[in-house]
């Protein structure tokens, strides 16, 4: 018998969560479809970066409290089943409702009465109650709860224990069991209703996405009027508590913020005006930067270099990174485009010094700290993040 099986257990959320439970003394099996990640993790190697996980993974494997498998039969052995599979959008920007339906269909024969089933993916509102109702309709006695993951990618192991945990059971017993599950991990438990917790997760991500869009829109307005946005940013935030959290401009991307803003929009009959405006601004930023650069430089005669292809700084995750959109636009406009990223290993990437040497114009795609003081050869730099301190100023 095992205490906990995590479905999607080798993903960015599932693996750190499994390690955190194993560190707390529970026996955990990470179940994943991806045989490559399963093999890699079972050898003690993290498939992606998460602070502290490189050391903890071999430790819990050695202690025998953690292992990974592709065999769904293991679900039957667990007291608690946690699902953390991806919940992507379809090509029309609608949530893919079938992801959870298929998961339950696929694993229903392994689920057994008496288990606690915890949904931890970010889901379309109502999903938790629907899953619980469907299982109850089949006469199954399975407790269902929603406990959303709220960690920042790359820092999951640290944040799992420092953040309050939202716990929303579909019944009193599910609530009690889910609270008991997370109590040893979380700094605090916040009991909620499932729909409220589903909305809390989506509201948080949409709110962050809108904040980034506000900064990006202000960046565009200031730039159009020849004003350095970061002078304005400093004036707004320095010694002024009410603007303290105002973000910098930059690519707002990755696998969550855009997707979850669109999930919320779909839930609200596609009338989430703020969310859609944020999407147009954030997704339009790469085009804006290139259009602006084209007013200043003869792009068609130039080689552009993109530094940083991941979706955020010092991360190894390229999912839904806007650097790829920037690359696409630059490939149309420029003679050639070269890309570099120290966190990725791809045949089309070149080392930083080669990108700097070959490029006539550089764009900071992801604000990796290595670029802060890097020698960029005196080349002009389009630096929406204001990372390099020698980014081009509005002209
Ligand atoms: N990445 C983050 O930092 C983060 C933070 C908070 C919430 N979330 C949410 O958590 C969920 C998972 O995100 P992620 O970034 O970990 O995704 P991921 O793609 O890194 O991980 C998902 C894992 O699930 C596996 N998987 C998919 N279907 C499966 C199935 N039927 N059976 C077994 N394994 C299966 C995949 O192989 C993959 O390893 C999403 O809903 C996301 O919005 C992510």
Nearest CA to ligand 1 atom 13: 86
- What digits encode the pLDDT tens for the residues 309-346? 999 999 999 999 999 999 999 999 999 999 999 999 99
Q: Are 297 and 361 in contact (CB under 8 A)?
A: yes
What's the DSSP call for residue 360? S
Ligand 1 centroid distance, CA of 304 (Å): 34
Task: Calculate helix-pair angle for 257-267, 273-296, nearest 10 degrees.
Answer: 140
Which atom of ligand 1 lies closest to the CA of 102? 31
20 lines ligand 1 (CB under 6 A): no
Nearest CA to ligand 1 atom 27: 85
pTM: 0.95
In this prediction, residue 266 has a pLDDT band, given cuts at 50, 70 and 90, of very high
Report the mean per-residue pLDDT for the chain. Answer: 96
| Mean pLDDT of the region 33-59 | 98
Ligand 1 centroid distance, CA of 232 (Å): 38
- The answer, yes or no, to whether residue 195 has pLDDT greater than 50, is yes
Q: Using alpha carbons, list the distances in angstroms from residue 327 to 125, 304, 334, 338.
A: 35, 9, 10, 9
- Beta strands 165-169 and 143-146 are antiparallel
List, as own/partner pairs, every contact residues 87-94 make where C-beta atoms lie below 8 angstroms and the sequence separation is at least 24, other chains included.
87/121, 87/122, 87/123, 87/124, 87/259, 87/263, 88/255, 88/259, 89/259, 89/262, 89/263, 93/262, 93/265, 93/266, 94/262, 94/266
86 lines ligand 1 (CB under 6 A): yes
- What digits encode the pLDDT tens for the residues 104-160? 888 889 999 999 999 999 999 999 999 999 999 999 999 999 999 999 999 999 999
Dihedrals φ, ψ of 70, to 5°?
Answer: -105, 0
């Amino acid at each position: 018998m095992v205490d906990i099986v995590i479905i999607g257990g080798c993903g960015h959320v599932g693996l750190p969560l499994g390690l955190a439970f194993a560190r707390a003394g529970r026996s955990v099996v990470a179940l994943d479809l991806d045989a490559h990640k399963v093999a890699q993790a079972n050898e003690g190697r993290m498939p992606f970066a998460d602070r502290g996980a490189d050391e903890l993974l071999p430790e819990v494997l050695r202690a025998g409290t953690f292992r990974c498998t592709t065999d769904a039969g293991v679900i039957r052995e667990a007291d608690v089943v946690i699902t953390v599979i991806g919940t992507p959008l379809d090509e029309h920007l609608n949530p893919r409702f079938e992801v959870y339906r298929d998961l339950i269909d696929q694993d229903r024969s392994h689920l057994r009465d008496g288990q606690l089933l915890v949904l931890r993916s970010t889901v379309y509102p109502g999903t938790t109650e629907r899953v619980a109702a469907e299982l109850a309709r089949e006469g199954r006695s399975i407790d269902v709860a929603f406990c959303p993951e709220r960690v920042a990618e790359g820092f999951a192991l640290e944040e799992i224990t420092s953040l309050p945990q939202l716990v929303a059971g579909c019944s009193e017993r599910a609530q009690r069991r889910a609270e008991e599950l997370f109590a040893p991990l979380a700094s605090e438990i916040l009991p909620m209703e499932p729909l409220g917790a589903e909305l809390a997760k989506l509201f948080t991500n949409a709110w962050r996405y809108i904040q980034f869009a506000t900064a990006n829109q202000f960046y565009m307005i200031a730039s159009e009027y020849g004003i350095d946005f970061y002078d304005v940013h400093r004036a707004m935030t320095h010694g002024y508590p009410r603007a303290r959290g105002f973000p910098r401009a930059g690519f707002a991307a990755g696998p969550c913020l855009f997707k979850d803003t669109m999930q919320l929009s779909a839930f609200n009959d596609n009338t989430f005006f703020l969310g859609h405006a944020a999407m147009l601004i954030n997704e339009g930023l790469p085009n804006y930067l290139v259009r602006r650069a084209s007013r200043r430089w003869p792009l068609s005669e130039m080689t552009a270099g993109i530094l940083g292809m991941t979706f955020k700084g010092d991360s190894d995750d390229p999912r839904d990174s806007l650097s790829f959109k920037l690359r696409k636009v630059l490939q149309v406009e420029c003679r050639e485009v070269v890309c570099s990223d120290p966190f990725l290993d791809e045949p089309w990437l070149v080392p930083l010094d080669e990108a700097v040497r070959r490029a006539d114009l550089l764009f900071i795609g992801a604000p990796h700290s290595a670029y802060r003081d890097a020698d960029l050869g005196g080349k002009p730099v389009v630096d929406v993040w204001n990372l390099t301190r020698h980014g081009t100023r509005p002209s």
